[in-house]
């Protein structure tokens, strides 16, 4: 199932014209961040795909108006940091 989720999430890069970057922490947890390269109809998309301690995946995603793209990034980062306790 995890492989299926990974394939489905990364297919979005092509389908939705997303940029991506990866981050990992000192404990070896990885996060992939997918973002709209440019707005579509005034809306941007951002998604954070994270791994956990038990080989699970957390997917945090949202849409925002183009003018609120920075807020979306900030909110997703805060939410991601709040899940550290579970990792």
Q: Is 27 helix (H, G, I), strand (E, B) or coil?
A: coil
Q: How high is the pLDDT of residue 60?
A: 94
pLDDT at residue 53 in the model: 79
pLDDT, tens digit (0-9, with 9 covering 90-100), for 22-76: 998 777 778 999 999 999 999 999 999 988 878 788 899 999 999 999 999 999 9
Rounded to two decimals, the pTM is: 0.82
Locate the domains of the chain by residue range: 2-86
Among residues 49, 46, 58, which one has the least CA distance to residue 86?
58
Strand partners, 42: none
Task: Identify which has the larger pLDDT, 8 or 42.
Answer: 42
């Amino acid at each position: 199932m995890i492989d299926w989720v990974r394939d489905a999430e990364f297919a979005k890069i092509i389908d939705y014209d997303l940029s991506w970057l990866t981050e990992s922490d000192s404990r070896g947890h990885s996060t992939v961040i997918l973002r709209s390269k440019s707005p579509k109809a005034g809306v941007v998309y951002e998604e954070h795909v994270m791994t956990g301690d038990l080989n699970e995946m957390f997917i945090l995603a949202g849409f925002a108006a183009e003018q609120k793209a920075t807020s979306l990034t900030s909110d997703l980062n805060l939410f991601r940091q709040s899940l550290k306790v579970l990792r």
